[in-house]
Amino acid sequence: MLLAKFHVLYRLFNHLAVPSPQAIIVASVPGYHTGVNKKKWGHLRLRSVLEQHVVIPDECRDRSTVVCQVFTTPVSHHASPYLHIMLPTSNIKLRQFSSIGSLTTSDTWFREVFGASLSSAKNRRQCRDPTLKMVFPTVEDFLVAQNLSLEFVATFYSLEGWNSGGSIPFDHNNYMKQKAWMRNYLCKWRGIRSGRHRAAPHIKTYARFTVNSAINNADSEGSSVEIVDGSESDAILAWFLVTSSNLSKAAWGDLQKKGEQLMVRSYELGVLIWPEMFKTPEGENAYMLNATKTNLRPIPPSALVPQISPPLSSVTNVVPVRLPYDLPLTSYDFDAGDECWTWNVPRSEPDWLGNFWSGS
């Protein structure tokens, strides 16, 4: 039955007129990969593509950020490695799955191993290493006191209250083991400008970008910045990856035997894009710019690209990319009580719908 459905999809896709694919596949396959096969999968595949093909734009070389935005991807030692493919078409009951895997008690893997792949580029020697950040929801993103105004609730809080957390299963014990180092990287889920704040998309994204300080500094100073269609973008992207891969060694791979072997536990699939892909034969420039719900057709920010001003040249190609989260990023405030959402802790306070969370 499942095979028949795939054949139907294959026939449909075969009739689509796609002139040339403008994306690169970054995938993972379970196994112990050695030799040339190491670079075919996981974070070493990403590293290889970035090193061979991706030139970090001038605007991103001195100051950039790589953001890992994750919510949930099923990963389990009790389930099939095909789980991501099977889940939409089956009635599998998951025993264990995680959005952020067990990455040990230090940031060695995230910063030195995975971070080295995220920082890779064809012109890496001409670039400063990017700042690494994670976007992950706090407990507060699901909870709201019932005496707040409906307007406030309708802007800031999850549509489903605590129940939304059921699909964001970060284990509390893993969090407590990793909190000491994760706190340096964690940023809150904010998606008001992107139009996704109350219903976070079930995706994992990884992106390298430089923010438009002219807009973001004004925001931090409390100035009113009107962002309308055709306004300057709040960020220039060096590359953007949408993938099934959560933030874990199981998904991205763990180097073993002094780097001679890459161990991967799950099947994953993602697509990577960068500006050079979208240059036309006669084009001189191509920019990937962050787009928001009120600025779907952004233009390059003058603070980063002063040589370009409206009207844009016909040889400048602008590719809007809608980051699912807002910029500037908002770091966790642990002193104020911010904590990562963890799904296996009971919550005694009611959400805005009046529901409680059992933690099971």
Catalytic (active site) residue 202:
yes
In whole angstroms, what is the distance from residue 36 CA to residue 32 CA? Answer: 12
**Distance in angstroms (rounded) separating the CA atoms of residues 287 and 301:** 10
Give CA–CA dist 162/298, Å, rounded: 35
Q: Cα angle vertex 242, ends 38, 40, to 5°?
A: 10
The answer on whether 204 is annotated among ligand-binding residues is yes
Closest CA to 243 of 268, 209, 275: 268
Q: Tell me the CA distances in angstroms from 52 to 46, 49, 119, 123, 235, one per residue in order.
A: 10, 5, 13, 9, 24
Check 7, 33, 77, 202 and give the catalytic one.
202
Q: CA quadruple 54, 60, 62, 65: dihedral positive or negative? A: negative
Q: Residues 6 or more apart from 194 whose CB is under 8 A from it? A: 292, 293, 322, 323, 324, 325, 326
Tell me which residues are annotated as active site.
202
- Residue ranges of the binding site for substrate: 204
Q: Which residues are annotated as a binding site?
A: 204
